[in-house]
Chains A and B, each alone.
Chain A
Amino acid sequence: MPAEMLTASVKTITARDSRPPVAVHVENVSKFYSRRRWFSRSGPGDVRYALQNVNFEIREGEMTGLLGPNGAGKTTLLKSIATLLQVSSGRILVNGHDVEAEPVAARRLIGLVTCDERSFYWRLTGRQNLRFFASLYRIPDKKAADRIALLLDKLGLSQAADVPYHSYSTGMRQKLAIGRGLLAEPRLVLYDEPTRSLDPLSAQNIREWILASRAVSPTTTHLIATNQLHEAEQLCDRVVILNHGSVIADGSIDQIRRQVHSQGRVIHKLTCAGLPADFHISALAQAGLFEVVRDSANAGTVLLRVVTTETGEGLSLVLAEILRKGGSVIRCDTGEVPFEEVFCSLVQGETPARSAS
């Protein structure tokens, strides 16, 4: 190998090494279920894919969101990483351990937080539950007692620690589930909809706690399957979006926004007065004006939703037309295109239709 090529390779390897190591490696993972019919041959129509050729990596310390509509394969993927499901093809490594070949070693590194309230022993107290699960991880008694006390304290459950689990509220149960997930100080925490069925305050409380736990243990990797897009925006460095079992987007939320719209887009909400009832402007993409929709109308005012490039190109066209028609702009609010719209565009292959009022 010529010396300059060798130097280039060394540089590449050095550059790669500077990144945190890979915590989760998902390679060509497919999972299908075949409907078994006794005494007849099964055809291709009898196979239902839950995951199709999924590939991605998560670096140590990353907080990644796993998004997708219902039935997209989020829970299937999460359970496959957690060794609870066997994939049909491909492989999954957790900190280098193949979950199929070394399930026990992989499970030692994983904490799973589910939203299933039933996953605890209802007749035992919160502390007794955590003690039992700590013993499954072979945590020494003294260390387990300290860790449980610390977690209960941080989760605000100290007062209820010795009360039977069946008397806990939904929020308390969810907090205890998080406590259990973090009990053995896992290197990878998998969350399956951690705030489902929680009221907004409890959900926010849980999210803040997840962020706080990340600050305490920055090398722990988090993978959060959620349907709450704002949760992903608040918590995650990066999101992987699944649809029909395949990855349709992977990157930071900003990167995905750009993936959907090659040029950055912003939304201007213009509150106008004095506009005629038949006021209309057509979109003109070449001029950086992608959408003008009459969103709502109140007494004497009209709300226009205008989508332009990041630089605001195209807005001047709208303003000029408003003035030309004898109207005026009372207020203008500008913001990014909501991630929900980006998500819907990706999943449906188009931006959801908006009807003018």
Chain B
Amino acid sequence: MKMAWAFFKRDAAIAYSYRAAFLAHLIGNVVMLAMLYYVGKTVGPQSLPALAKYGGNFLAFVLIGVALTDCVTVSLASFGAQVREAQTTGTLEATLMSPVRLSTILVCSSLWNYFLCAIRFSLYLAVGGSIFGISLGRANLTSATVIFILTVLCFMGIGILWAGIVLLMKRGEALMGVGGMVLLMFGGVLFPTSTLPAWIQNLARLVPLNPALEGMRFALLQGYGLKQLQDIVISLSVFSVVLLGAGILGFNAAVQMGRKSGSLTQY
């Protein structure tokens, strides 16, 4: 816990030193919210049949999609980005010399990003509720929290595996960009996957973002309890165990390969 706090303090101090970037990031989020507002205004308040099971409000549908995808993106990209940054800034070797496991360092290094992500998630919902008039009165916060944690764990696995690839291959931004687009397309972020052709819908079931978003929308917009979300929770749990296990195994293998080839701190 103390170590996690040390990493958090370090990253907070570094972020504070880049005040302009911090402000630009905040403005970016506000612009994103404004954009969603006008998209919602264009679509209008009428209930869309494709979104009926989520309450029918397009803006609410998209807002939750964007908010959760933001957390998913942090899980996917944060670990690899931390490794890459430590390689290029030269701090990786010094950190690796400490008596702490690399996986612990990796997880602790991402806490600040998760903290910001949680703030953004809350901001999206708060602004959605207070300014855009999205009703969250029926929201089941317990279910939403469980879905949120499972989603983060699930994508954390892929993110850690990704960090292993970055450790060995050094550059991987392009591949990560492709992954992000696949998520947007097949994850049901901006539109329900039920509008996709049947065979793509089957493929989309393999993307864990699908059940995650479905569960989160049901929990926040329809107030579903854990019993009603049982299938989604089981599906996300299986995804989490498999992906987290694969991520940790893959990352450890990458570290061993890096130590063997001497490329651990190269960039």
Contacts and interface: CB of A to CB of B under 8 A. Distances in A.
A119 B13 contact: no
8 contacts: A84-B93, A105-B99, A107-B98, A108-B99, A114-B94, A116-B93, A119-B94, A133-B98
Interface stretch (A134-142, A236-244, A274-282, A312-320): A134-142
A25 interface: no
A133 B89 CA distance: 16
Contact of A133 (B13, B94, B262, B264): B94
A124 interface: yes
Nearest to A107: B99
A84 B259 contact: yes
How large, as a class, is the contact surface on chain A? 35 or more
B6, B97, B100 — most chain A CB neighbours (10 Å): B97
Given A118-B90, A128-B13, A112 B3 contact: no
A140 B9 CA distance: 16
Given A82-B97, A119-B91, 10 more contacts: A104-B99, A107-B98, A107-B99, A108-B99, A118-B90, A119-B90, A121-B14, A132-B6, A136-B6, A136-B100
B17, B94, B259 — most chain A CB neighbours (10 Å): B94
Interface in B41-89: 89
A121 B91 contact: yes
A62 to B, nearest CB: 21
Contacts of A133: 94, 98
B18 A85 contact: no
Nearest to A34: B261
Interface string A290-302: 0000000000000
A122 B105 CA distance: 19
Nearest to B265: A84
A120 interface: yes
A118 B90 CA distance: 5
A117 B89 CA distance: 10
B39 interface: no
Contacts of B97: 82-84, 107, 110, 112
Nearest 8 Cβ contacts at the A-B interface: A118-B90, A135-B6, A136-B98, A123-B17, A86-B259, A108-B99, A119-B94, A107-B99
Majority SS of interface residues in chain A? Answer: mixed
Contacts of B13: 123-124, 128
A215 B203 CA distance: 68
A138 B17 contact: no
B91 A118 contact: yes
Interface string B225-267: 0000000000000000000000000000000100111101100
B6 A86 contact: no
A54 to B, nearest CB: 16
Contacts of B91: 118-121
A76, A117, A120, A132 — most chain B CB neighbours (10 Å): A132
Contacts of A84: 93, 96-97, 259, 264-265
A310 to B, nearest CB: 44
A108 B256 CA distance: 20
B94 A180 contact: yes
Contacts of B261: 33
